Amino acid sequence: MTSPLDTTGGRLRLSVRLQPGAGRNETGTVELDAAGKAFLRVRVTAPPEGGKANRALIKLLARTWRLPASSLEVVTGAKDRRKVLEIDGGPEVAQTIQHWLRTAT
């Protein structure tokens, strides 16, 4: 399966499908959309209003990967369920996330 993490161009970009208002905060599985593009499914309890769900997403992923929340940013899809996050970090961070994606899903 392809990875939702894109490391080309010197930037780390992660494709996510967010479900706000869920019963609990959790990272899900890597799935493919109809076009065959991989994304990480994430659920958060926060509502999709006022950016609360986006902040909860960043907090959850930062905690999961032991990164500062300030190193993650929603760069596309701020008001959509499909999002792209940009993650500050070098090859070590990319390896950590890739390893997590392979073992957690």
* pLDDT mean over 1-15: 87
In this model, does residue 2 exceed pLDDT 90? no
In this model, does residue 103 exceed pLDDT 90? no
Q: How many domains, the chain?
A: 1
Residue 1: per-residue pLDDT = 57
DSSP 97: H
The CATH number for 27's domain is 3.30.1200.10
Q: pLDDT of 19-61, one tens digit each? A: 999 999 999 999 999 999 999 999 999 999 999 999 999 999 9
Q: pLDDT of 65-89, one tens digit each? A: 999 999 999 999 999 999 999 999 8
Give the range of the structural domain holding residue 97, as residue numbers without chain letter: 5-104
**Alpha carbon distance 66, 80 (integer Å):** 26
